[in-house]
Amino acid sequence: MSALPLNALTRAAAVALLATSLAACAPADEAEDAGTAEETTSTSEECTPETMETVTPGALTIATDSPAYEPWFVDDDPANGEGYESAVAYAIAEELGFDEDDVTWTVVPFNKVVQPGATGFDFDVNQVSITEKRRNAVDFSSGYYDVRQTVITNEGSAIADASSLEDLADAKLGAQVGTTSYDAITEQIQPSQDPGVYDTNDQAVQALKNGQIDGIVVDLPTAYFMTAVQLDDGVIVGQLPLASETPEQFGAVLPKGSAITDCVTQAVDALREDGTLDELNEEWLAQQGAPELS
C-alpha cells in the first residue's frame, strides 16, 4: 500500500535514462506520456515526512469537527483510528510515510474549515463535499467517499411514507449550515417552506424530536446512524436521486494553495486503486440499501 519513493539513486538514474531514451524515439503522444510519468515521479519524491511542508515539520496535523459523529468516527475520538474517516485519515498518513505517533488531531468547526484563510492543520476530514464554489476558498484531495443525500424522519410523520420529491413539497426540512445537504433541500427538493438551518446535526435531531421540522437531510451513513441510535422511532424516507452523472464526493480539505495537496491526492488515489477505501467502506459504512425517491 505504501507510496513511498525509491531511494536508490542508481535505480532512479536508470529510470530517468530509460524515460529519456524512450521519449527520443517515441511518437509525439508517447513522448508526452513519458514526460507526464517523470513529473509524477518527481511529485512522489516530494511526498515524504522529511520533505513535505507540514504545520509541524515531520508530523501531520489532521482536523475535524467536534463532536465527531459515528459512523465516521467512534466514541467522539478521532485519534483511535475507528470509524470510516478516522481510518481513512490514518491510511493517508501511512501512505505518506507517517507513523500513528506522528499524527496530531485538532478541532476545526465544519463551517470554518471551508472558509478562506483556514489554517492550523495539514488536512481536514469531516464529510466535506467537493464543490467548485468551495474550491475558490480551499484545496481538496481527490474524493475518498461517494455520497448519497438521504431524508429521514420519525415513524408516523407526515412524510414517513413519501416516495417522491413531490411528496416532500410541503415539508419543513432541516440540515446543517453550509452543507450540500442544505443545498439538496433548496436546489433539489425545493419545498414550499424555508428549511431549518442548524450549526450541528445534533441540533437538527433535537429539532426533529421537538416537532419543529418534519425531516432532516443528511448523507446515507449518517442517516443510518441517526435513525438507529439518535432517534427512538427514526426511519429513512429515501435517498435523493443523483443530481448529475458525476457523484458527489467527500474529499480531504487543505488550506488554499497548500504545498501538500498533490501528495494527499496521490495518497487517496493509491488507497482507492489498491482497494483500501473499499475495505474501509465495507468495515465501517456498509448497510442495506435505502429506497430511492423518484
Q: Could you report the per-residue pLDDT of 218-270, keeping only the tens digit for each?
A: 999 899 989 989 999 999 999 998 877 788 899 999 999 999 999 999 999 99
Spatial contact of 128 and 114, defined as CB atoms under 8 Å apart? yes
Q: Beta strand pairing status for 173-176 and 215-219?
A: parallel
Integer Cα distance of 132 and 231 in angstroms: 34
Query: Distances from the Cα of 165 to the Cαs of 129, 185, 199, in angstroms?
Result: 22, 10, 25
The closest alpha carbon to 55, from 90, 104, 93, belongs to 104
User: Is residue 11's pLDDT more than 60?
Assistant: no
The tens digit of pLDDT for each residue in 137-147 reads 999 999 999 88
Residue 164 confidence class, pLDDT cut points 50, 70, 90: very high
Average pLDDT of 54-82? 96
Spatial contact of 151 and 226, defined as CB atoms under 8 Å apart? no
- The amino acid that residue 118 corresponds to is A
Residue 10 confidence class, pLDDT cut points 50, 70, 90: very low
Higher pLDDT, 117 or 8: 117
User: Is residue 96's pLDDT more than 80?
Assistant: yes
Flag the least confident range among 24-38, 53-67, 92-106, 191-205. 24-38
**Residue 39's pLDDT is what?**
40
Average pLDDT of 101-125? 95
- For residue 244, the number of C-alpha atoms closer than 13 Å in the C-beta half-sphere is 8
Integer Cα distance of 24 and 232 in angstroms: 69
The C-alpha cell of 45 is what?
519524491
